[in-house]
Amino acid sequence: MPQLQFTLTGDYVELHNLLKLMGLADSGGSAKARVAMGDVTVDGKVELRKTCKIRAGQVVMLDGQKIRVRAPQ
């Protein structure tokens, strides 16, 4: 699967919002549930905080799909 890229518009994006924006969750509630179930990793470690701040340079994975987060241009 190709790696997805997400470019921040500010300093960070909350984890559940990133999943929703990237189309890996149908809704915010669905994204929060996936995080709570331990399905999401950030930089290779399971992340259970739904509102974890994801910053430039971090890598998020869900269902084998990798999202690389980039700084604003």
**Domain-wise residue ranges, the chain:** 4-70
Residue 53's identity, in one-letter code, is K
pLDDT of res. 1: 65
Strand partners of residue 5: 68
Between 69 and 1, the more confident residue is 69
pLDDT of residue 73: 81
Q: Match domain 4-70 to its CATH number in 3.30.420.40, 3.10.290.10, 3.30.450.40, 3.30.70.2190.
A: 3.10.290.10
- What is the model's pTM? 0.93
State pLDDT tens for residues 12-60.
Answer: 999 999 999 999 999 999 999 999 999 999 999 999 999 999 999 999 9
∠ CA 49-71-17 to the nearest 5 degrees? 35
Here the tokens at position 19 are: 């999943």
Angstrom distances, CA of residue 35 to CA of 10, 26, 43? 22, 13, 14
